[in-house]
Amino acid sequence: MDKDRIGGAGAATGAAQKLYGEAKNAAYEAADATVGYAKDAYENSADIFRDGSQAIAKKVKDNPLGSMLIAGGIGFALARLLMRRPGAR
């Protein structure tokens, strides 16, 4: 009877070690994939920024008055936020 218990414990230990190894490998693979995605995002960030800048420039060129009004509104809102007196409501 004791041999059965020892054999069962050994089998359980082996199964746990196998699961641990599989989980460790999955974690390494996930980390490698994350690093790959981060590198791709970093390498493509200049292109994305350039595309966004070009799109904004086109919108401003197409509607200069609206763009000036939006920029003025944003500036006014920022000035109101930054010039608030402490403790004033």
69 part of a folded domain: no
Lowest mean pLDDT among 28-32, 41-45, 83-87: 83-87
For residues 17 and 11, give the distance between their C-alpha atoms in angstroms, rounded to a whole number. 10
- Count of CB atoms within 10 A of residue 17's CB? 10
**79: in domain:** no
**pLDDT score of 71 more than 90:** yes
Residue 86 lies in a domain: no
Share of the chain above pLDDT 90, in %: 30
In a domain, 18, yes or no: yes
Q: What is the mean pLDDT of residues 32-51?
A: 84
In tens, the pLDDT along 15-33 reads 888 888 888 888 888 888 8
Asked if the structure places residue 14 within a domain, the reply is: yes
Q: What is the number of structural domains in the chain?
A: 1
**Residue ranges making up the domain that contains 12:** 2-62
What is the pLDDT confidence band of residue 41, given thresholds at 50, 70 and 90?
A: confident
The reply to whether 17 falls in a domain is yes
CA distances from 55 to 1, 28, 44, 89 (A): 77, 39, 17, 39
